[in-house]
Amino acid sequence: MALPKRRHSSSRRDKRRNSYKMEDVLFQTCKATGVMHEPHRAYWVDDELYYRGKVVMKRGE
């Protein structure tokens, strides 16, 4: 098994780990319902499933 010839510096290690941070979830307001939701996701409002401002499905159907 190969072994590194030299030790990597802490700044090099930290540059690699820089991209592992968690990102905040962004929300947007629907123009049709006025509800905050994640973009590109379907969401329920009053027993109706909305996607892109349109009713896709109703509960119980």
Cβ atoms of 57 and 48 closer than 8 Å: yes
Alpha carbon distances (Å) from 22 to 14, 18, 26, 49, 55: 15, 10, 12, 28, 32
What is the distance in angstroms between the CA of the first residue and the CA of the last residue of the chain?
59
The tens digit of pLDDT for each residue in 10-20 reads 999 998 888 87
User: Considering only CA atoms, which of 26, 25, 27 is closest in space to residue 35?
Assistant: 27
The tens digit of pLDDT for each residue in 27-60 reads 999 998 999 999 999 999 999 999 999 999 999 8
Q: What is the pTM of this model?
A: 0.59
